[in-house]
A and B are shown apart, each in its own frame.
Chain A
Amino acid sequence: MKAIVEPSPDTPLVWFEVAIRGGASADPIGVEGLHRHTGLLARRGAARRQRAELDDTLDSLGAALDVSLSRDSLALSGLSLTRHMDEVIDLAADILAEPRFDDDEHARLLRETPQVLDEIRDDDSALATRWFDWLCSPGHPYGRTSLGTEASLARIGELGRDAARDLWRREVVADNLVIGLAGDVDEATAERLVARLVERLPKGARVPDPPEPRTPPPGRRTILVDKPDRTQAQLRIGHLASRYGHPDTAALAIAEAVFGGMFSSRLMQEIRVKRGWSYGAGCALRRSRLPHWFEIWTAAGIDVAGAAVALELELYADYAAKGPTDDEVDFARSYLVGAMPFHVATARQRMQLAVRDSLFDLPVGYTARLPELLGQLAATDVRAACTRHFHPANAVTVAVTTAEHARPALEAANAGPITVVRHDEY
């Protein structure tokens, strides 16, 4: 078990995070959503407290205990007033060591989750992301839905709550955890609290990483998610890229900033400032333990959706081929180095970054020391990284919009063959 402590007396609050290695990428094939289901179910009652009593107790302390899921981990995060932190830590320890996994809550959660799916289908941006994940790299552990599908949720129902209990028993073990604690607490107290969190857990072992992703099929392809009455198209363009912590991470941070990570970036200037086609446009490399996506995002008016896709692909191809100019590299480096103090300004931020670095098995302080690496890079290093990691010929596109209006222009966007799907079919 790895523990990270960031004391700070700034406010009478304590934050903590218990990250459980595994996450959605460790869901068995066909049982997508199991980690989410298990984590939420664990939060719904522990030891002698059923869900209602646990909620009442936490709320009466002014505290919060929330479960969140990423591709790489499941996390139990807590927030407490300093004077109640012992009680809140005890409640968190109960959840970790003795979740009830009550039958009625298991059944209720299975009824609730399809409605979260409805909410995603009602939200164009979330829907675009869901389809982009699906399309980007078939077979990749990150390409499967963390929420689940109607079919995988039915499978979780067939397996029963024992599947959740087994997962918890396997993954919530001391050696599979990274724990962070920050705020109004001294180091000795923090160590005592961390010990309390894990004292009833077996030592266990780390869960194995999911298999390395297969190379996605070459070429461009497009999914047009047909939804009625749209005035815009939510657009995503991208492909499988690298993992966070790859030797090119610093160079790619500069490349990302130049192309779409700042207001001054190429995408924002071309799409928003010069043409007014979208409120925003940018790109991001998703920071994960395994290779994850490079993603361009924008929400263009439906009349210019095809033109926006064509332009973004053109800009991307040019950028991948030539990379940033020397001036652009200098500018982005200055931005990224200067921005670091904002990412580590509070104890909570420092703790969260350190927890993430640890989950990714990166050296202590890796992210906080990126400015040093940025300072050592030449513009040629950044351009070489662009060539190695950016593949516009294999960029996939997702457009959530009204097919009747947007399809002709999208077909002319040079984004590969188009498959039209209903907005509620995945």
Chain B
Amino acid sequence: MTLSWELEAEAPIGRGVTAKRYRLGNGLGLIAAVDKRAPIVALQTWFRVGSRHERPGATGMAHLFEHLMFGQTESLPPGEFDRLVERTGGESNAATWVDWTYYKLSLPARDLELGVRLEAERMQHLVLETGPVESERDVVTNERRERVEDDVDGWLDEQLMAHAFTVHPYRWPTIGWMEDIRALALPEIRAFYRTWYAPNNATIVCVGDFDDEHLRDLIAQHYGHIPAAQLPAPAEQTEPVQAKERVIRAPKPIATDRLLVGYKAPGQDHPDWAALEIVSTLLAGCPSARLYRKLVIEQEAASSVDAQLTPFRDPSLLRLAVTTARGHGADEIVAAIDREIAGLVENPPPPSEVEKAKALAETDFWSALADVDGKAEALGHYETALGDFRRLSAIAERLTAVTAADLARAVRTYLVPAHRTIVIAEPENADEGEDGDDDGADE
């Protein structure tokens, strides 16, 4: 049975561990990385379906499956999936984002076969009936209340994406709009499952203490008979160039202003992504970062400053999140951000500052690979979002090659006010005459 596998690629992932990608005849991908340092395995199933594959009006569909997939199947009664996993001492979980959904099993090594059997079962035989769907719909609406409605940071995040993107599906939240979650219809839920949960839309990632050949036998045995599905043609939607700054303000029950600033940035596989990653570190990614030092330490205008370059397949955002200090406001922070960004262009960072960011990136790279779950997540993300797990090393190499000139060019190209969206949450009782909910977003 192992003979039906085709070895497509192999590359080291960390010290003494090699990842190999195989493919089965029905299109199922397998990335196997043997790491026998602990008697455990990380078994993850990554599907190339995320919130970007939804349609307006049916947002939250991909995330709903993150819940439904733990339910009843043709051979497993309700709750049995979790019970079987927990009885081993293992844990199951799942995550959905814009480009992917993945299902995660952490299992004792001796229970690998159970994991493979369970994952194969729910890829083919999930039972989607009204009762369990309604129950999970309630759970998801409560999840949304907890993470968005009653969480100012979740609200900021959602509003940023909703206003920064006008065409691309990144504009709606992965958890979905509340009205859409409530309206998702059973026939469309079933169709979504039949469309995307197929072997040729999935990659199984296994890292840990197992025998490579035995794993391939197991997977061939449990998945080999599943036919490939006819996958929809990729619907590429290009976000138009943003020509004018967008600003959104709303009152919230908070003590001080909070703001999220998003600059349009390229996708993770773009050559400029590495330079912007270094820029994000130099602005707010470490205690000595320029913006952090200016706003939090020197001016005491903010209590926190964070930067993140989102690792999406398509162009996304470099985000700066700031919580203002008492007595300071969002407008003052935006002006300070502008000054720091201008400073990066006018006084490009010296080589020592660039090397600092590279050293921090190196530590982050190895930290992410410190355990089997981390290795599996890295492999799965790069394989699913960017099409090849070896982009993990390639992007790390790009980071080491970034120069000060690259940084200056990236800043001039991307970090310009016209290409940014700003969402501001303001204390409800401050300046009652100020703008109400959602006054901006026009160009």
**Selected contact of B152 from candidates A111, A115, A122, A299, CB within 8 Å:** A122
Check: B256 CB closer than 8 A to any chain A CB. Answer: yes
**Selected contact of A119 from candidates B136, B143, B253, B323, CB within 8 Å:** B323
Check: B387 CB closer than 8 A to any chain A CB. Answer: no
Contact, CB under 8 Å: B142 / A62: no
**Contact flag A81-B359 (CB < 8 Å), given A231-B145, A336-B89:** yes
> Measured between alpha carbons, how far is A58 from B360 in the docked complex, in Å?
10
- Min CB distance B365 to A, Å, is 9
Check: A348 CB closer than 8 A to any chain B CB. Answer: yes
What residue of chain A has the Cβ atom nearest to residue B292's Cβ? A55
| CB-contacts of A57-83 with B (<8 A) | 58-64, 79-81
Check: B363 CB closer than 8 A to any chain A CB. Answer: yes
| CB-contacts of B349-392 with A (<8 A) | 352, 355-356, 358-363, 366-367, 369-372
Check: B14 CB closer than 8 A to any chain A CB. Answer: yes
Contact, CB under 8 Å: B87 / A13: no
A275: chain B residues within 8 A (beta carbon): 138
Contact, CB under 8 Å: A299 / B87: no
Which segment, of B37-45, B158-166, B194-202, B403-411, faces chain A? B37-45
**Contact flag A62-B256 (CB < 8 Å), given A12-B366, A230-B150, A338-B89:** no
**Contact flag A121-B255 (CB < 8 Å), given A264-B82, A279-B142:** yes
What residue of chain B has the Cβ atom nearest to residue A117's Cβ? B255
> Measured between alpha carbons, how far is A124 from B252 in the docked complex, in Å?
13
**Selected contact of B255 from candidates A274, A341, A424, CB within 8 Å:** A424
Check: B188 CB closer than 8 A to any chain A CB. Answer: no
> Measured between alpha carbons, how far is A336 from B108 in the docked complex, in Å?
12
A213: chain B residues within 8 A (beta carbon): none
Contact, CB under 8 Å: A60 / B355: yes
Contact, CB under 8 Å: A334 / B87: yes
**Selected contact of B288 from candidates A12, A56, A79, A116, CB within 8 Å:** A56
Contact, CB under 8 Å: B149 / A231: yes
What residue of chain A has the Cβ atom nearest to residue B253's Cβ? A228
| CB-contacts of B53-101 with A (<8 A) | 79, 82-83, 86-92
Specify which of A61, A112, A118, A337 lies most central, judged by the most chain B CB atoms within 10 Å of its CB.
A118
Check: B297 CB closer than 8 A to any chain A CB. Answer: yes
What residue of chain A has the Cβ atom nearest to residue B324's Cβ? A115
Contact, CB under 8 Å: A115 / B40: no
A119: chain B residues within 8 A (beta carbon): 255, 303-304, 323
B146: chain A residues within 8 A (beta carbon): 232, 279, 299
Contact, CB under 8 Å: A118 / B355: no
Check: A165 CB closer than 8 A to any chain B CB. Answer: no
Contact, CB under 8 Å: B79 / A279: no
Check: B300 CB closer than 8 A to any chain A CB. Answer: yes
B225: chain A residues within 8 A (beta carbon): none
Contact, CB under 8 Å: A229 / B362: no
| CB-contacts of B1-56 with A (<8 A) | 14-16, 37-40
What residue of chain A has the Cβ atom nearest to residue B107's Cβ? A338
A300: chain B residues within 8 A (beta carbon): 142
Contact, CB under 8 Å: B143 / A229: no
B91: chain A residues within 8 A (beta carbon): 339, 342
- Min CB distance B329 to A, Å, is 14
Taken residue by residue from 222 to 254, chain B's Cβ proximity to chain A (1 for < 8 Å, 0 otherwise) reads as 000000000000000000000000000000111
Contact, CB under 8 Å: B88 / A338: yes
> Measured between alpha carbons, how far is A79 from B303 in the docked complex, in Å?
24
**Contact flag A232-B142 (CB < 8 Å), given A59-B287, A79-B367, A263-B82:** yes
**Contact flag A10-B303 (CB < 8 Å), given A59-B286, A115-B325, A122-B255:** no
Contact, CB under 8 Å: A339 / B89: yes
Contact, CB under 8 Å: B287 / A58: yes
**Selected contact of B79 from candidates A264, A278, A336, CB within 8 Å:** A264
> Measured between alpha carbons, how far is A241 from B142 in the docked complex, in Å?
30
Check: B183 CB closer than 8 A to any chain A CB. Answer: no
Contact, CB under 8 Å: B135 / A111: no
Check: B268 CB closer than 8 A to any chain A CB. Answer: no
Taken residue by residue from 112 to 144, chain B's Cβ proximity to chain A (1 for < 8 Å, 0 otherwise) reads as 000000000000000000000011111111110
Contact, CB under 8 Å: B89 / A335: yes
Contact, CB under 8 Å: A13 / B367: yes
B190: chain A residues within 8 A (beta carbon): none
Contact, CB under 8 Å: A278 / B297: no
Check: A108 CB closer than 8 A to any chain B CB. Answer: yes
| CB-contacts of B256-300 with A (<8 A) | 256, 258, 286-288, 293, 297, 300
Taken residue by residue from 113 to 135, chain A's Cβ proximity to chain B (1 for < 8 Å, 0 otherwise) reads as 01110110111100000000000
Taken residue by residue from 201 to 237, chain A's Cβ proximity to chain B (1 for < 8 Å, 0 otherwise) reads as 0000000000000000000000000011111100000
Check: A148 CB closer than 8 A to any chain B CB. Answer: no
**B binding-site residues for A, Cβ under 8 Å:** 14-16, 37-40, 79, 82-83, 86-92, 106, 108, 111, 134-143, 145-146, 149-152, 252-256, 258, 286-288, 293, 297, 300, 303-304, 323, 325-326, 352, 355-356, 358-363, 366-367, 369-372, 428
The 10 closest A-B pairs by CB, nearest first: A338-B89, A276-B138, A62-B359, A118-B255, A345-B38, A279-B143, A339-B89, A115-B303, A55-B287, A55-B288
8 contacts between A and B (CB under 8 A): A9-B15, A11-B369, A13-B366, A59-B356, A81-B359, A264-B86, A338-B89, A341-B38
Given contacts A116-B303, A344-B38, A346-B38, 9 further A-B contacts (CB under 8 A): A10-B37, A115-B303, A122-B258, A228-B428, A277-B138, A334-B87, A335-B88, A339-B89, A346-B370
**A binding-site residues for B, Cβ under 8 Å:** 8-13, 51-52, 55-56, 58-64, 79-81, 108, 111-112, 114-116, 118-119, 121-124, 227-232, 262-264, 269, 272-279, 299-301, 331, 334-342, 344-346, 348, 423-424
